[in-house]
Structure 1
């Protein structure tokens, strides 16, 4: 008899989980997808620098290029007014100049990461400081503009 209450609970949980679904074609859905790709790429690069993954200079350089390309994409998916569902603070829309400044800083740091990977030999030691600046740029924007 305990199986019935458990199955009712599971059905309720799954039904409620579907209510918070984000339309992948919405501006929020598009930028969340880009941010997820950025995070995955950044995690791989960071993993190589922190010893979680073996450092491979060619893979790191390719990842840096991918991260640089991705870093230029999410900004176009911020509409002029805040959507109903959003993971950003109101300040994104009220302090657009500052938000855009941080976006350009991230782009500059990812471009610098690509540039440092063009200098041979590419080693973990040669790219680590530039990669740290990319991570710092991500964190600065999150601290100022991410709601949660």
Structure 2
């Protein structure tokens, strides 16, 4: 393949890749990135408790703190009106703002409770499991109410 053809194919691929992508600096891009980070932290914590990942107390504590911090971030990236049709959020996010905000506060309370549980060393699985389950339940409830699958 000649250099010109290779350059043309590369440019076409890059142009196509840029189409339909979400701008990482847009409100949608920012909240999607935050939710992905939250999912990773939550999955790691749950994985440690369920034996899918080797349990590491220091990593668990750090993950709980990081998840708590992340849980306070995405809500600022939901503008007053729907901003992007590619969002997986339903219109109810904007039509039922009071309920949406309450569910966000519920998640924040659940992650803060996990941090509190992790502050009493040595950590107890019997205390960690319900705290992690509360976070997972909070995420699931909000997804059922406000996410289009």
- The normalised TM-score by structure 1 is 0.87
Equivalent pairs counted in the alignment come to: 137
RMSD: 1.7
Q: Give unpaired runs (5+ residues) of structure 2.
A: 1-11
- Cα deviation per residue 1:51-106 (whole Å; 9 max; x = unaligned)? 01111111111100000000000000001110133110000000000000000000
Alignment of 1:123-134 (within 5 A): 123-134=124-135
Correspondence 1:96 to 2:97: yes
Rounded Cα–Cα distance in structure 2 between residues aligned with 1:13 and 1:23: 18
| Rounded Cα–Cα distance in structure 2 between residues aligned with 1:13 and 1:145 | 34
Q: CA deviation at 1:17?
A: 5.7
User: Do residues 64 (structure 1) and 64 (structure 2) align?
Assistant: yes
Q: Residue 134 of structure 1: CA displacement?
A: 0.4
| TM-score of the two chains, using structure 2 as the length reference | 0.86
Which structure 1 residue ranges, 4+ long, deviate > 4 Å from structure 2? 12-18
Q: Secondary structure at the match of 1:116?
A: helix
Any conservation in 2 of the 1:61–1:117 contact (CA below 8 Å)? yes
